Structures are given as C-alpha cells and as structure tokens.
Amino acid sequence: MELGPQPLDAVMKEMKLSNHDLATANANQLTHKTVNKARKGRQLTKRSQRKVIDAMNAVKGEREAYQLEDLFTYRGR
C-alpha cells in the first residue's frame, strides 16, 4: 500500500540526510531499502517504524526527539 511521501522525507531533506546516513545511524538493523520505503510511504510494520524513529533520534542526538506522529502519517501494522 502506497501512502504518499511521509513527513520523514521532508525532515530528512531539511537536515540534508541521505538514506545511508540513517541506515548507519544506530545499532538496529535498518537497511537502506527500509529507509527508502519509509520516505516514499510504503507501509511498514510497527517494528520497522520504530527502527526509523530510533535512527532519527540518534542522528539528532536526543532521545525521544521524534515520535511516530512526527515522521509518519499512519501506524504500522
């Protein structure tokens, strides 16, 4: 299911981050493919969404800086 570009995409563009930056940001197994799906609005599982959120928080350097509602317009299945 395609849900259109997500807020994550805009935040990453604003911060000038690439998919690679996010994939390597923390210890969770987050792939470039998952980041790309997240940005384009392909439906992810809750677990994958959590990994993306954790990576964004690691890049920003603040724990819990971003929440699900800040980066996605839907809840994972």
Burial class (CB in 10 A: 0-12, 13-18, 19+), 62: exposed
Q: Do residues 19 and 36 touch, judged by C-beta distance below 8 A?
A: yes
Q: Which amino acid is at 68?
A: L
Q: Do residues 38 and 44 touch, judged by C-beta distance below 8 A?
A: yes
Q: Which pLDDT score is estimated for 25? A: 87
Q: Which pLDDT score is estimated for 22? A: 93
Task: Answer whether residue 63 shows pLDDT above 80.
Answer: no
> 3-state DSSP call for residue 2?
strand
Which tens digits make up the pLDDT trace of 17-56? 999 999 998 778 899 999 999 999 999 999 999 999 999 9
Task: Answer whether residue 77 shows pLDDT above 90.
Answer: no
Structure tokens at 35: 């980041």
Enter the pTM of the model.
0.91
